[in-house]
């Protein structure tokens, strides 16, 4: 249909006129348009707002499976309201290697509400080998590292733009979750 | 927003600016390597495709390319791109960067298809590329999902094209190829044998500047493709730089093997091909690999150039050799040269990668070539894809944009000259411009050409010989008035006639060809050979003979013949007259016998007539007797006659004296009518036409009166009372003998013609016309008239045409010494007369003295030069044929003209070779005077040149 509209019996001048009409039509459709996929729409983590009188709790128990935990809170009446970073580290079966072989999970609490995003890091032999930046149940960015701690990207990870987008997601998580390698 | 995020945005925007600068690079490069008549069109397309591509990209293509993927094939959202939120600055930066890429891809096509596409077709191409080709391929390779994972189907397979060797460059090349195949090569790109003809660019330095801009822009093209500013950027820029260097240097290195001089265009394209090669892989390879990839890209470019020429595919700027094939190479080179460490892999599966890359190349090629080819194949059915040959020849600046420049004005004016041949007009001069200077010089050339052409035209028009030109098919192209007069045709309408029909007509009513049996058949194309054509002119019942010589030349690859037609009828008649003269000499010997008898009888007769005369006077007059008066007159006449006879006997001629012939004729004719010796004189109207000459003739008046009486009686009888007789007096100079019925020697004459309109005299009777009495009128003694004229040192001649009448001509010597007033005391000009024929010298000297000019004479060129050195000369009148000068005809002319270029030289001659004449006129002769001279014409031309010289 479009083909016929544009070209059938069209002289150059008529063709330009038809193109103009088409352009106006398309512009009128612009209100129906939307931005392409942006990481904004993913609900990236945001740092919790600063509050006064935040207290922090840090517990270390080498015997326990979750040998390290950390969170911050403020009090509202008698109750503790978690607010800010929340960390749990779960060791492997080898208690002796609890500080070098463990899985760390980080969450953020916003005035007692836990975030739906989290970061899960796996440390083996004291080297960070994998980190999952979890935005939701189905959306996660996984970064793997080799034994020397170098990032293992995989061939597809070198695709143009993709790497940059991942890095920007990671950078947001790293800032909010106060993460380092 | 974090500092890192801001740095990313800054880097992307900076690189977008770099890539935008590539538009300027393409503009300069494409304008420089195409012809100036299309430069505006090419440059304009580079600007317009940018605008159109960016608009389309914003409206549709960015969404198609980076929107949420539909099964990895195409984006489905993000049309009319806009965004809010924290991500907006980054997303807008990315959009700007990606839009520049789209515009770059589109502009590749403009160069390849340059110099032949209508503007609207190019807009369509930009639209098709921006909507159907680039965003689809871009989605397959570069689209990512929310998390940055590849969403395009090719990228999901592992296809890698970092900055667009395939996505941008190959796609542009494929679309270019499709278009070029559909529209065909530019006019004149391949010759009739299919050999490529180099079409030179208009401005190579501009093209080189364009290349530099492109290399500069490529840093942004590749460097910005990270879409972030990270540690990998320097390596990418390094590889980009080395790719360009590798491509450029390999082309330079190949020069000795191609046995050609360095081709700037090829070297520039080598650098660009190297850049295209490393574009896909510069983030994954090292510097050595980058150099190799760039160098191979350059070699591939050179091979593609050869291949396109072999296949007769005309890529105006080499876009396909630069973008298509090196783009494919760069994409495949990812698999060959990718560095595992840089990629973040333990090892690289090169075979698997190559398969993926190869599939990508094939699919992208298929999509980018077939889709536009099909689309424009259909468009071609309803709209022309290329401009008309006339528009292409004129240039797209004019035909597509009506761009008018001073160069165009000059070309238009020059075209007008070429088309109309009207050299009287001059081209417009635009002051203070280079074109204006060219126009001014061109006008000077036209001035000289106009002058030369005027002189040549003058010769062509005035020449007594006929000239015709005809082509190899025998169609007459032009003829001069002399030829037209001879063949009874208007020169203006002669074009298109057959040379055969003109020269040897078969069915003309007035002219028949009577070639002698022993002559070879006439052939106008037999160049360099003199051929005779014998005619019989029916009206005048005269045989006429012409000599015909053809010369062969060529103009604009067309063979042109020039035929010189010389009427030699008089020469032939001269030969006949000579034979008649011989017979007369025999007759003269017989006459001597009678002369002897006459000699004895004259004294007796004189005494007798004297006695009768004396007796008549002594008789008493008382009785008036008319018979006595008659007796007295007769006796006096016999007395005069016998006195003349005695004078002739003693001196060999009649006693002559200088007489103003005009006055003499007027007086004679009045007396003739009043005396009315014969009734014919009063019955027949006698008209007089006296040439405006003050020359005196040397005549015996009484004898001439008797001659005129005899001849006029004959003319009056021939014409009859109704038609009348014309008595005409003119001065005439013959530089060579004139062969009428009598042979008249060269010299100066006063000529009296008696022209009647009678029945004419048969040719057979003309030979012995003056022998004895007239055949028809027995009382008219023509022999006596002839004898008396002869004894005045004159010649009596007759010319007659049956049906038209007869002309009796008396050639009388001029009293020259009495007429030359001598050198003027205060000469107004000095003329050097280079002439070795003394009668001519006397004639011209006298004429010029009369108008107050001083005359120097010289018989040779050497003497002429000596005289010119000794005293100033205003005009030179040079006889081209000097008997004492053995050099070439034009030698003396050149000697004088080279040493005295400011002095006008009028050349003269009788039967001067037309080639010699054309040569001296082209070399600067002021004019040509053909002999026999017409005094009025000599005076006119000498005066004209003398005045011109004084004005200068």
B466-471 vs B558-567, strand pairing mode: antiparallel
Find the closest chain A residue to B346 by CA distance.
A152
- With contacts defined as CB-CB under 8 Å, which chain A residues touch B147? 42, 135, 139-141, 165-166, 169
Of A33, A157, A164, the CB nearest to B80: A33
In Å, how far is A46's CA from the nearest CA of chain B? 12
pLDDT of residue A128: 94
pLDDT band at A40 (very low <50, low <70, confident <90, very high): low
Strand order in the sheet with B795-801: B686-690, B725-734, B747-756, B805-813, B795-801
Better-predicted residue by pLDDT, B115 or B579: B115
Which of A16, A35, A173 best tests the B interface by mutation, with the highest count of B CBs <10 A? Answer: A35
Question: How distant is the Cα of B288 from the closest Cα of chain A, in angstroms?
Answer: 20
Query: B203 vs A26, which has greater pLDDT?
Result: B203
Task: Provide the pLDDT for residue A120.
Answer: 96
Residue B632's pLDDT is what? 73
* B214 closest CA partner among B17, B12, B21: B21
Q: Is A39 on the interface with B (CB under 8 A)?
A: yes
Angle between helices B204-223 and B264-279 (to 10 degrees): 10
pLDDT digits (tens, 9 = 90+) for A69-128: 999 999 988 899 999 999 999 998 888 888 889 999 999 999 999 998 999 999 999 999
* pLDDT value, residue B466: 86
Which residue of chain B is at minimal alpha-carbon distance from A19?
B124
**Would you state the structure tokens that stand for residue A29, as one six-digit string?**
């459709």
The two structure tokens encoding residue B245: 């260097």
Q: In the structure, what pLDDT confidence band is assigned to residue B302 with cuts at 50, 70 and 90?
A: very high
What pLDDT does B775 receive?
74
| Residue B723 clears pLDDT 90, i.e. is over it | no
Domain ranges of chain A: 48-177
Determine how many CB atoms are found less than 10 A away from the CB of residue B804. 16
Summarize the confidence of residues A128-140 as an average pLDDT: 90
The mean pLDDT value for B616-621 works out to 68
Helix (H, G, I), strand (E, B) or coil at B565: strand
Question: Which of B344, B354, B381, B382 is best to mutate for the A interface (most A CBs within 10 A)?
Answer: B344
Residue A30 predicted with pLDDT over 80 = no
Mean pLDDT for B372-393 is 91
Q: How far is CA B546 from CA B108, B487, B539, B867, in A?
A: 70, 11, 18, 41
Nearest to B323 by CA among B577, B632, B112: B112
**Option in A15, A135, A160 nearest B162 (CB):** A160
Does position A57 have pLDDT exceeding 90, yes or no? yes
Q: A-chain residues within 8 Å CB-CB of B283?
A: 158
State mean pLDDT over B698-718: 87
pLDDT at A35: 54
Tens digit of each residue's pLDDT (9 = 90 or more) over B822-841 = 777 788 889 999 988 776 78
Per-residue pLDDT, A152: 84
Residue of A nearest to B164 (CA): A160
Residue B12: list chain A partners with CB under 8 A.
none
Interface test with B, best of A45, A138, A158, A175 (most B CBs within 10 A): A158
In this predicted structure, what is the pLDDT of residue B621? Answer: 62
Q: How does DSSP assign B119-141, residue by residue?
A: HHHHHHHHHHIIIIIHHHHHHHH
Which of B359-363, B443-447, B640-644, B784-788 is most confident? B359-363
Question: Distance of alpha carbon B313 from its chain centroid, rounded?
Answer: 36
Output the CA torsion B244→B246→B249→B255 (10° steps): -110
Mean pLDDT, chain B, rounded, equals 85
Choose between B41 and A43: higher pLDDT.
B41
pLDDT in tens, B554-605: 777 788 888 888 888 877 766 666 655 555 555 555 556 556 666 677 777 7
Yes or no, beta carbons of A159 and B142 under 8 Å apart: yes
In tens, the pLDDT along B488-508 reads: 888 777 777 888 888 888 878
Q: Provide the shortest C-alpha distance from residue B325 to chain A (in Å).
A: 22
Contact B148 A165 (CB under 8 A): yes
B343 vs A26, A158, A169: nearest CB: A158
Whether B880 contacts B907, CB under 8 Å: yes
pLDDT tens per residue across span B420-433: 877 778 888 877 77
B-chain CB neighbours of A151 within 8 Å are 344
Query: Residue B344: which of A7, A9, A152 has the nearest Cβ?
Result: A152
DSSP characters for B571-596? HHHHHHHHHHHHHHHHHHHHHHHHHH
Q: Which of B82, B148, B335 to mutate to test the interface with A (most CBs of A within 10 A)?
A: B148
| Contact (CB<8Å) B8/A27 | no
Which of A142, A148, A161 is most worth mutating to test chain B (most B CB atoms within 10 A of its CB)? A161
Contacts for B862 with CB less than 8 Å, ≥ 6 apart: none
Q: How confident is the model at residue A60 (pLDDT cuts 50, 70, 90)?
A: very high
User: Would you state the structure tokens that stand for residue B823, as one six-digit string?
Assistant: 């050198």
**pLDDT for residue B222:** 96
CB contact under 8 A, A158 and B344: yes
Looking at residue B11, its pLDDT comes to 95
Chain centre distance of CA B291: 56
Among partner residues A36, A160, A169, which is closest to B77 by beta-carbon distance? A36
Question: CB-based contacts of B544: which residues, under 8 Å, 6+ apart?
Answer: B534, B535, B536, B537, B567, B569
Nearest to B615 by CA among B592, B639, B595: B639
Q: How many A×B Cβ pairs under 8 Å?
A: 160
pLDDT tens-digit map of B511-540: 888 777 667 888 888 888 888 888 888 777
**pLDDT confidence of B773, banded at 50, 70, 90?**
confident
CB B748 within 8 A of CB B839: yes
The proportion of chain B whose per-residue pLDDT surpasses 90, expressed as a percent, equals 33
Interface test with B, best of A4, A154, A159 (most B CBs within 10 A): A159
Instruction: Give contacts of B80 with chain A, Cβ < 8 Å.
Output: 26-27, 29-30, 33
Average pLDDT for B120-142: 94
Output the pLDDT for position A3.
Answer: 54
Examine the pLDDT at B670 and tell me if it is beyond 60: yes
**Six token digits for residue B508:** 């003309």
**Cβ within 8 Å, pair B160-A159:** yes
The confidence band for B59, taking pLDDT boundaries of 50, 70 and 90, is very high
Query: Dihedral, CA atoms, B645, B646, B652, B654, nearest 10 degrees?
Result: -60
- Which of the four pLDDT bands, split at 50, 70 and 90, describes residue B692? low
Residue B20 pLDDT: 95
Report the pLDDT value the prediction gives residue B133, as an integer from 0 to 100: 96
Of residues B199 and A21, more confidence is placed in: B199
DSSP-derived letter for residue B59 is: I
Q: Which of B79, B120, B344 sits opposite A157 (nearest CB)?
A: B344
- Within 13 A of B452's CA, how many CA atoms are on the CB side? 14
Residue B451 — pLDDT band, cuts 50, 70, 90? confident
* pLDDT of B414 strictly over 90: no
Alpha carbons B697 and B801: distance in angstroms, whole number: 29
Mean pLDDT of chain A: 82
Contact B60 A26 (CB under 8 A): yes
**Rounded CA separation B811/B916 (Å):** 34
Instruction: Tell me how long chain A is.
Output: 181
Q: Are B635 and B612 in contact (CB under 8 A)?
A: yes
**Residue B250: closest CA among B309, B307, B291, B281:** B291
Contacts of B567 (CB under 8 A, 6+ apart): B464, B465, B466, B486, B544, B545, B546
Task: Examine the pLDDT at B650 and tell me if it is beyond 80.
Answer: no
Which residues in chain B touch residue A175, judged by CB atoms under 8 angstroms apart? 2
What distance in Å separates residue A32's CA from the closest CA in chain B? 8
Is pLDDT at B666 greater than 70 in this prediction? yes
Side-chain-facing half-sphere of B96: CA atoms under 13 Å:
19
Task: Note whether B120 contacts A12, CB cutoff 8 Å.
Answer: yes
Q: Is B929 left (phi over 0), alpha (psi -120 to 50) or beta?
A: beta
Q: What is the dihedral of CA B127, B144, B341, A154, to 10 degrees?
A: -140
Record: contact A41-B146, CB cut-off 8 A: yes
Query: Helices B119-128 and B39-56 meet at what angle, rounded to 10?
Result: 30
| pLDDT score at A39 | 67
> Is pLDDT of B732 > 70?
yes
Q: Min CA distance, B224 vs chain A (Å)?
A: 10
As a whole number of angstroms, the distance between CA B881 and CA A43 comes to: 110
- Chain B residues closer than 8 Å to A154 by CB: 344-345
Angstroms from B453 CA to nearest CA on chain A: 48
Least confident stretch, A125-129, B674-678, B801-805: B674-678
For chain A, positions 127-166, list CB contacts with chain B under 8 A: 135, 139-141, 146, 150-166
Question: What span, in angstroms and rounded, lies between the C-alpha atoms of B327 and B484?
Answer: 72
Among A40, A153, A171, beta carbon nearest to B344: A153
Helix (H) or strand (E) holding B554: strand B542-555
pLDDT (0 to 100) of residue B455: 76
pLDDT of residue B828: 86
Rounded Cα–Cα distance for residues B237 and B222 (Å): 7
């Amino acid at each position: 249909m479009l083909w016929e509209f544009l070209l059938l019996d069209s002289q150059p001048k008529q063709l330009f006129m038809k193109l103009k009409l088409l352009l106006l039509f398309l512009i009128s459709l612009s209100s129906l348009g939307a931005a392409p996929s942006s990481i904004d729409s993913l609900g990236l983590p945001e740092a919790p707002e600063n509050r006064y009188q935040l207290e922090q709790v840090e517990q270390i128990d080498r015997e326990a499976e979750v040998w390290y935990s950390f969170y911050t809170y403020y009090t509202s009446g008698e109750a503790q309201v978690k607010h800010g970073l929340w960390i749990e580290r779960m060791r492997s079966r080898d208690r002796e290697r609890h500080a070098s072989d463990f899985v760390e999970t980080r969450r953020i609490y916003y005035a007692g509400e836990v975030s739906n995003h989290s970061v899960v890091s796996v440390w083996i032999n004291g080297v960070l080998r994998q980190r999952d930046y979890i935005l939701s149940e189905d959306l996660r960015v996984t970064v793997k590292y080799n034994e020397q701690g170098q990032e293992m990207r995989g061939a597809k990870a070198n695709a143009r733009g993709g790497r940059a987008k991942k890095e920007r997601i990671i950078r947001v998580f790293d800032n909010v979750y106060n993460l380092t390698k | 927003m974090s500092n890192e995020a801001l740095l990313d945005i800054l880097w992307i925007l900076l690189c977008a600016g770099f890539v935008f600068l590539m538009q300027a690079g393409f503009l300069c490069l494409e304008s420089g390597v195409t012809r100036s008549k299309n430069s505006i069109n090419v440059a304009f397309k580079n600007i317009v495709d940018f605008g159109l591509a960016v608009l389309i990209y914003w409206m549709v293509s960015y969404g198609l390319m980076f929107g949420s993927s539909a099964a990895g094939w195409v984006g489905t959202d993000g049309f009319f791109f806009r965004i809010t939120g924290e991500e907006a600055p980054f997303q807008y930066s990315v959009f700007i960067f990606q839009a520049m890429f789209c515009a770059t891809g589109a502009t590749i096509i403009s160069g390849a298809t340059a110099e032949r596409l209508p503007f609207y077709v190019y807009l369509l191409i930009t639209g098709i590329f921006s909507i159907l080709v680039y965003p689809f391929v871009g989605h397959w390779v570069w689209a990512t999902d929310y998390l940055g994972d590849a969403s395009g189907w090719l990228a999901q397979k592992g296809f890698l094209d970092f900055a667009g060797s395939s996505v941008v460059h190959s796609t542009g090349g494929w679309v270019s190829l499709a278009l070029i195949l559909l529209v065909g090569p530019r006019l004149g790109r391949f010759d009739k044998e299919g050999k490529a003809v180099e079409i030179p660019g208009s401005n190579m330095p501009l093209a080189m500047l364009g290349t530099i801009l492109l290399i500069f822009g490529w840093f942004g093209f590749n460097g910005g493709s990270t879409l972030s500013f990270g540690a990998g950027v320097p390596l990418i820029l390094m590889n980009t730089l080395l790719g360009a260097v590798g491509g450029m240097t390999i082309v330079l290195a190949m020069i000795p093997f191609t046995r050609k001089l360095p081709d700037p265009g090829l070297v520039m394209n080598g650098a660009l091909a190297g850049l295209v090669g490393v574009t896909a892989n510069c983030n994954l390879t090292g510097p050595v690999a980058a150099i190799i990839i760039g160098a191979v890209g350059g070699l591939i470019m050179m091979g593609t150039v050869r291949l396109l020429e072999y296949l007769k595919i005309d890529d105006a700027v080499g876009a396909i050799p630069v973008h298509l094939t090196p783009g494919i190479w760069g994409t495949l080179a990812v698999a060959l040269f990718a560095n595992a460490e840089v990629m973040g892999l333990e090892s690289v599966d090169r075979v698997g990668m190559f398969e993926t890359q190869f599939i990508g190349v094939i699919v992208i090629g298929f999509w980018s070539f077939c889709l536009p080819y099909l689309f424009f194949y259909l468009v071609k059915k309803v709209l022309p894809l290329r401009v008309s040959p006339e528009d292409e020849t004129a240039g797209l600046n004019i035909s597509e944009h009506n761009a008018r420049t001073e160069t165009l004005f000059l070309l238009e004016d020059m075209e007008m000259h070429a088309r109309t041949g009207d050299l009287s007009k001059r081209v417009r001069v635009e002051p203070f411009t280079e074109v204006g200077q060219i126009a001014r010089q061109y006008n000077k050339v036209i001035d000289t050409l106009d002058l030369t052409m005027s002189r040549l035209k003058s010769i062509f028009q005035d020449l007594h010989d006929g000239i015709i030109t005809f082509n190899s098919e025998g169609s007459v192209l032009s003829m001069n008035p002399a030829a037209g007069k001879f063949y009874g045709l208007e020169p203006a309408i002669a074009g298109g006639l057959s040379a055969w029909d003109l020269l040897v007509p078969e069915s003309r009513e007035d002219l028949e060809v009577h070639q002698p049996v022993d002559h070879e058949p006439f052939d106008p194309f037999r160049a360099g050979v003199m051929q005779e054509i014998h005619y019989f002119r029916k009206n005048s019942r005269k045989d006429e003979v012409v000599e015909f010589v053809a010369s062969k030349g060529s103009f604009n690859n067309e063979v042109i013949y020039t035929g010189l037609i010389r009427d030699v009828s008089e020469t032939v008649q001269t030969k006949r007259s000579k034979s008649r003269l011989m017979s007369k000499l025999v007759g003269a010997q017989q006459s001597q016998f009678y002369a002897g008898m006459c000699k004895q009888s004259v004294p007796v007769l004189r005494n007798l007539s004297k006695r009768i005369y004396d007796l008549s006077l002594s008789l008493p007059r008382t009785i008036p007797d008319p018979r006595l008066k008659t007796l007295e007159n007769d006796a006096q006449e016999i007395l005069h006659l016998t006195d003349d006879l005695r004078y002739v006997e003693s001196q060999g001629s009649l006693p002559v004296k200088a007489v103003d012939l005009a006055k003499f004729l007027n007086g004679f004719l009045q007396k003739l009518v009043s005396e009315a010796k014969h009734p014919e004189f009063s019955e027949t109207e006698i008209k007089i036409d006296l040439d405006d000459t003050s020359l005196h003739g040397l005549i015996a008046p009484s004898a001439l009166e008797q001659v005129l009486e005899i001849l006029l009686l004959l003319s009056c009888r021939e014409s009859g009372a109704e038609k009348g007789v014309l008595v005409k007096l003119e001065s005439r100079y013959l530089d060579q003998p004139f062969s009428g019925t009598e042979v008249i020697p060269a010299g100066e004459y006063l000529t009296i013609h008696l022209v009647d309109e009678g029945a004419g005299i048969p040719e057979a009777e003309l030979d012995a016309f003056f022998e004895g009495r007239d055949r028809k009128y027995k009382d008219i003694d023509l022999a006596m008239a002839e004898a008396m004229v002869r004894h005045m040192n004159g010649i009596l001649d007759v010319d007659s045409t049956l049906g038209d009448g007869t002309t009796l001509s008396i050639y009388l010597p001029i009293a020259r010494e009495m007429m030359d007033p001598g050198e003027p005391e205060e000469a107004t000009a000095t003329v050097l007369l280079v002439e070795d024929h003394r009668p001519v010298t006397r004639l011209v000297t006298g004429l010029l003295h009369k108008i107050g000019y001083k005359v120097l004479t010289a018989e040779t060129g050497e003497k002429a030069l000596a005289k010119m050195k000794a005293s100033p000369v205003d005009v030179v009148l040079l006889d081209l044929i000097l008997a004492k000068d053995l050099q070439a005809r034009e030698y003396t002319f050149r000697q004088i003209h080279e040493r005295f270029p400011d002095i006008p030289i009028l050349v003269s001659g009788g039967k001067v070779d037309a080639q010699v004449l054309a040569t001296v006129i082209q070399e600067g002769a002021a004019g040509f005077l053909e002999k026999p001279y017409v005094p009025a014409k000599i005076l006119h031309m000498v005066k004209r040149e003398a005045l011109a010289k004084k004005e200068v």
